[in-house]
Every structure is written in structure tokens, then in C-alpha cells.
Chain A
Amino acid sequence: MPWIEECIILKIIYYCHTGKYGALAAAGLHLNLIHENISYEELVSFFNKYDCPTLTPSFIGNDTQGVSVYALGTLKESKLINKIVTSFKTTFCTDGSPLLMIDALPHVKSPLNIILPLLSLNWFNKLGDILLPYLVWQNISVISSQVYNHELDYQYLIMDNSGDEKGWINCLR
């Protein structure tokens, strides 16, 4: 199976539409820097450690398999940004390293749903910076399951042909 070698994911970008918080939490969960049962204060101190400007991919770390994990915060147009990132890679990058874009918050619980559309308003940013860490903390299980699901996908993609049937079935699913 020579194609499996080409499927190795070298870069993962977690993106969200909360400015930075959702993507940072997902990257932290991926790299085991934080865990699902983290307290609110611990999560806030984790966010404060990283300067992650909006719309700038920020390198958070490498995982145990050498995959580079990035966080990309957006406030609006997250689907469009996903397309731009993918198109940029295929158009301007010649290294051929695969890229996986993962939405950190595809399904969020209220009241984050109500708050997020307001983020594109500049006056809301300061209030958003206070509310969002808390709301992301409330949604940490959603983010965690998203990270876990995608981690399974790419684990199956990068594993060698060891004859693990379950792995191959998931890979082909």
C-alpha cells in the first residue's frame, strides 16, 4: 500500500470562530497540554500563555508523532478561511506535506450560538474576551470529542500496514 505513506499528516490546523479560544483549546487537548476536566481558571491561564492573533496560524507544538499543531482563530467566514488555507497550500506550497483543517467547534451549545455572531462587531470584542473563555470552557467536551474523532481518523491514516482490520475499516469508512 504505497499510498498510505503519502497520507501522513504533517500539519494540523484547528480553527474556530471564537477569535482564538476554541482553536487553542482544541490544540491544547490534542497535545495533552490540557484535559477535558480542566477547571475554568486553569483554562484561562492556558489561554493567557499563548499570543494567538486572529487570522494568523500560531504554532502550538508537535505531538508525539511529529505532527505540527497550529491554532487559527477567526471571527467570521470560518468556512471561507478553510478554503483559502487549503487553496493557499495547493497553489503556493511545493513541499507536498499534507494538511488537515479541523473546525474546533462545529456544533456548539447555547449561549455560545447567540454570542458568536456578535463578535464581528468591534465594540463587542472586549466583552467577548470576557465571555468567550467561559463559554468555550462550557463546550470543552464538544471540542474534546472533535479532537478525538479526527485523531482517530489520522491515526488510521498514518499507521503502517500492520494488519489491524479495525483500523483499515475505519480508514476506508
Chain B
Amino acid sequence: MALLLKFIIRREIGMNIVYHCFGGAHSSVTAAAIHLGWLSPNKLPSKEDLTKIPYFDWQTKKDHGIFRFMGKDEFGNKVFFIGRRYLRHDFETLVYGLAKMYGVDSKEILLINTMPYINWMMILGGYLSRRHGIVKIGRPIVIKGVQHSFFRYVALVERVKKFFI
């Protein structure tokens, strides 16, 4: 009964789902957009579809380390993304440590690493566009890269929704 009540309360309050990657500009933003239904999971997004996503190819070094709220999903969960540079697993250790410190239930925060689906085009394009500000060359390359890995991100989001929410 208590477990059921806890489940119902969690469904009512909602979880915080955080997609994280190196710079918080492409892979985590794309995954968050798929999660929120802003990109159709059945259709390869066009250049316009991707550039319309808020924060896509937007963050630079000064924005790293900031949790950005993207929206609420159909279950009432808040969806965030963040750029955490080289921290990887250390990022998860830090966030769950902070949750403990502040008395936040760590089950309310779900951290999803989107880095495994990054390809060389996203790295090169992202490096040119975000690191050096060469948007004209970098953005088309990164868009190609996102399109290449798009259905992998769809599968990731589907797994998140199926198993964790």
C-alpha cells in the first residue's frame, strides 16, 4: 500500500529527467526534444526542425554546468539538459551527492548520458561551431551528425520512458 502510494505521489509530483553530454548543445538537446515530443520519432528531422529546437547549437563554454529546463513531458516530469564537459560518471556522483546533502530524493532525479551516441560529425561540427564560433561550417556538419544518430536517440528516449518513468 505504501509502495503504491509512493508511486502515485511520484507520478503526481513528477521526476526530474536530466540529459547530459559534453557541451549541452546537440546530443542532450536533441534527446530532450524527442522526449518532449518536439521531434517526431518516426521521421528524420530536417535542418529546419533541428534549428527550431530551443538551445540547439546555442550553448558555449560559459553555459556549461547550468541545468537548463526544456519543458514538461506528458507524465508531468520536468526535462532538463546540461553540459558537463569531461565529468562523465563523476557528474552523476556529484549530483547524487548534492541530492543527499539537500535532502532531495535521488529517485526523483534521473540522469541520462547521451554521449554514447555521438559520432565524429557531431564532434567536428560542434567543435567548429561552439568552440571556435565558425557556425557557417560547423552547424551543417553537426546537423548531418545528429540526423545520422537520430534514431539511436529515439531508442534511448523510448528506453527511458519504458523502464524509468
Count of chain A residues with a beta carbon within 8 Å of a chain B beta carbon: 23
- Using CB atoms and an 8 Å cutoff, list the residues of chain A in contact with chain B: 11, 53-57, 59, 70, 76-77, 80-85, 87-89, 91-93, 95
Q: How far is the CA of A77 from the CA of B97 in the complex (A)?
A: 17
| Residue among B67, B91, B95, B101 with max Cβ neighbours from chain A (10 Å) | B101
Among residues 88 to 126 in chain B, which have CB atoms less than 8 Å away from a CB atom of chain A?
90-91, 93-95, 97-104, 109
Contact partner of A88 among B86, B95, B103, CB < 8 A? B95
Contact residues on B (Cβ < 8 Å of other chain), bracket: 20 to 34
Flag whether B84 is at the interface (Cβ < 8 A): yes
Contact partner of B109 among A83, A84, A92, CB < 8 A? A92
Q: Give the residues in chain B near A87, CB-CB below 8 Å.
A: 65-67, 82
A sample of 15 cross-chain residue pairs with beta-carbon separation below 8 angstroms, ordered by A number, consists of A55-B90, A55-B94, A59-B101, A77-B86, A80-B65, A81-B65, A83-B66, A84-B84, A84-B91, A84-B94, A84-B95, A85-B98, A91-B16, A92-B99, A95-B103
CB closest chain-B residue, reference A68: B101
Q: Sorted from nearest, which 7 A-B pairs have the closest CB atoms?
A: A83-B65, A56-B97, A91-B67, A84-B65, A55-B94, A80-B65, A87-B66
Q: Give the residues in chain A near B150, CB-CB below 8 Å.
A: none
B64–A80 CB distance below 8 A: yes
Q: Give the residues in chain B near A70, CB-CB below 8 Å.
A: 101
A57–B85 CB distance below 8 A: no
B16–A92 CB distance below 8 A: yes
Q: How far is the CA of A77 from the CA of B61 in the complex (A)?
A: 12
CB closest chain-A residue, reference B61: A80
State how many angstroms separate the Cβ of A40 from the closest Cβ of chain B. 29
Flag whether B69 is at the interface (Cβ < 8 A): yes
State how many angstroms separate the Cβ of B56 from the closest Cβ of chain A. 20
State how many angstroms separate the Cβ of B67 from the closest Cβ of chain A. 4
Given A56-B94, A59-B101, A89-B98; 14 other pairs, CB 8 A cutoff: A54-B90, A55-B93, A55-B97, A70-B101, A80-B65, A81-B94, A83-B64, A84-B82, A84-B84, A87-B67, A88-B102, A91-B80, A93-B104, A95-B102
Q: Give the residues in chain B near A54, CB-CB below 8 Å.
A: 90, 93
Flag whether B134 is at the interface (Cβ < 8 A): no
Task: Say yes or no: A57-B98 contact (C-beta < 8 A), given A76-B86, A92-B104.
Answer: yes
